[in-house]
Amino acid sequence: MESPIETAILSKPQRKAFSKRSRTGCRTCRARRVKCDESPGACNNCTSTGRTCAYDMQRLPPAGGRKKTTAKAIVLSAPNGASATIRAAIAANFQWKVTSDESRCLSFFQHRSVPQLVGYLDSPLWRELILRLSCTEPAVYHAVVALGAVSQANEMAGRTPRPGQQHLLRDNWYSFALEQSSRSFALIHRRRRSHDPQLQEVILVCCLLFIICELLRGNVTEATFHLQGGLQILHTMNIERRSSGLELSSGGVDECVVESFMNFQEGSIYYGLKEPLRFDSQFVYDQPYEAYLQPFQSLSYARRAFRPLQHTGFELIATCMSASEADIASNYSTIHFQQHRLIALLTRYLQALDDFCLRTFGITSFTCPVMATSRDPARRREYRELELTRLTCLALLLGLKTATYSKRQPSVPDRHLCERKSLMAAAQTVMRKFDGPDRPAFAPTSTIVAAVYIAAHVCPDHTFYCLASDLLRSWSSDEGFMSSTMNAKILDESLKLYLAQVWRSAAPLPPGVTFTTDAAGLQVTAHLTYCADGVEKRRSMVLEGDESLVAELRAIDNSRDWACSRALGLLERKSYCED
């Protein structure tokens, strides 16, 4: 007979023995939520049931006690901007099993990356197309997971690594993203002989995701490689704008995909991109484009009418920046015609935009910043879009007017002082709207950085260089291929070149500029005084090359072909005071 103590022990519920959860099981067992026997090569669970067994080479670190996010919760959390059709497609769940690590990256992509990527101008690419394709196309799915992993690694690090500093990324997250990218590559390669009509769009969308992944890693060389690959595919599709309404004939590929490639091209063309798409420049120069600048009936049409001018204008500015003065002189008649045609069209566009704003909102695009405090979110987005469009238009106008100026910073009176001030003020107004959590760490469209850079480019006044580089450093965001930090450094090198010419000149020193030399008379330091927002500031700079900028440039394969490298001699020059 059992004693009372034995009875109590036997009747007490037995606790399940604790065992530490394995993190090295195969991805199939983890997705099925069954214990994997972890047999080398292929586990018995999969082989005995005819399933495909695959081990992940990389795993993410534990979530650290945060609330666990399931795959079901991920796919049901479509962003508010998604249409009902997209929500239904996402809610239908993925057509394959999702691991816990992938769920974490998917969640980060949807809730943190997408709002960043649409921070300037909304696009159906991020709100709809990629979300839909990631639920039906495994290649897009793994590319999205990779982007989510890199984005989260950068957020934890607090910054995007600069070229040559990829080792600063967290190893686990970066390695996991690399493995996910490899899965995406393999899936695309497996379908290369397929006659699937959607394959080209899948490849192009993956290209866009790979471009952003590499830019977020600070790997400009690989990002350029992916961009050029996508552009080569688009070259074969004979894309053009239909003269009936500015729509794209894109061979079955969504128009937002093509426009996204054009946005990336717009920034990368300054950095040695070869074989850009030129269907917009052909359209602007060959068509009676004035017909599209009739009174705008909607903001979306105004934006559509601006894109060809925007892409063509930045292409001409980049061409002139990259060309030598001899090249510009030999092609001056063609450049002069294109330059003046674009200036005329942009001037008419800006007037048409103001007329539309006055008819629709009772304001002009010059006064819309005052109205951008509306409580209506849709109206605020419209005002923001107007501000960004106007800012880009002003940047293009000034950039085109100064495109053929000497890159050697001639000490002549500035004929565009008022335009520089207007552009700088417009950029500051837009930047203030993005202060705080609204400021994107990365945006796929080059807008603010390009405008601030152009405001100071080839300006014979140290004040604008100082103001522009201060603004870019405070902005500390990347826009496509344009890094605010790197462009601030490039502006500083341009300023050094200008100051070196002032130092060698026999003319009186400009107001606010003085020089000192070291005991040997070899090292020259410029001392600058300038006014920012009513406050007097001072800056001193040694007229020698920036070693940190040179290190970044040397980590990029084609940096010698960049317009700034060739014009300033960034990779060869050590002292700006040497002839």
Q: Are 236 and 204 in contact (CB under 8 A)?
A: no
Q: What is the CA radius of gyration of the chain?
A: 28
Q: How many CB atoms lie within 10 A of CB 436?
A: 6
pLDDT at 434: 80
**Which region, left, alpha or beta, applies to residue 536 given φ > 0 means left and ψ of -120 to 50 means alpha?**
beta
Q: Tell me the C-alpha distance between 445 and 311, whole Å.
A: 12
Average confidence (pLDDT) per 10 residues, the chain, 579 residues: 46 46 67 75 79 71 53 46 48 70 88 83 85 90 94 83 66 86 92 84 96 92 93 91 80 88 90 86 90 90 93 92 87 94 96 90 66 66 86 96 75 80 92 77 90 93 94 91 93 92 88 91 92 93 92 88 82 77
Residue 431: count other Cβ atoms within 10 Å of its Cβ: 18
The confidence score (pLDDT) of residue 516 equals 94
Reported pTM = 0.84
Using DSSP, state whether 34 is helix, strand or coil. coil
Amino acid 284: pLDDT: 93
Q: What is the pLDDT of residue 65?
A: 44
Q: What kind and span of H or E run contains 532?
A: strand 524-532
**Tokens of residue 173, six digits:** 């997250």
**How far, in Å, CA of 541 to CA of 206, rounded?**
44
**Cβ pair 25, 36 in contact under 8 A:** yes
Q: Strand 442-443 vs strand 482-483: parallel, antiparallel, or unpaired?
A: unpaired
Cα–Cα–Cα angle for 104, 221, 491, nearest 5°? 105
Q: Closest Cα to residue 444, out of 205, 139, 219, 120?
A: 120
Q: What is the pLDDT of residue 5?
A: 42
In sequence order, the β-bridge partners of residue 240 are: 249
pLDDT at position 296 is 92
- Residue-by-residue DSSP string for 104-121: HHHHHIIIIIHHHHTSSS
Distance CA 556, CA 286 (A): 36
Concatenate the DSSP letters of all residues of 131-150 into one string: HHHHHH-HHHHHHHHHHHHH
- Name the helix (H) or strand (E) containing 537: strand 535-542
Task: Give me the amino acid identity at 44.
Answer: N
Place of tokens 């007017």: 401
* Three-state secondary structure call for residue 563: helix
Classify residue 184 by burial, with Cβ atoms within 10 Å: 0-12, 13-18, 19+: buried
Q: What CA dihedral angle connects 386, 387, 392 and 394, to 10 degrees? A: 110
For residue 77, the model assigns a pLDDT of 47
- Which residues have a Cβ under 8 Å from the Cβ of 382 and sit 6 or more positions away? 299
DSSP state for residue 536 in the 8-state scheme: E
* Three-class SS state of 76: coil
Q: Which domains does the chain have, with CATH numbers?
A: 21-54 (4.10.240.10), 99-276 (no CATH), 282-404 (no CATH), 410-570 (no CATH)
Q: What is the dihedral of CA 230, 232, 238, 244, to 10 degrees?
A: 40
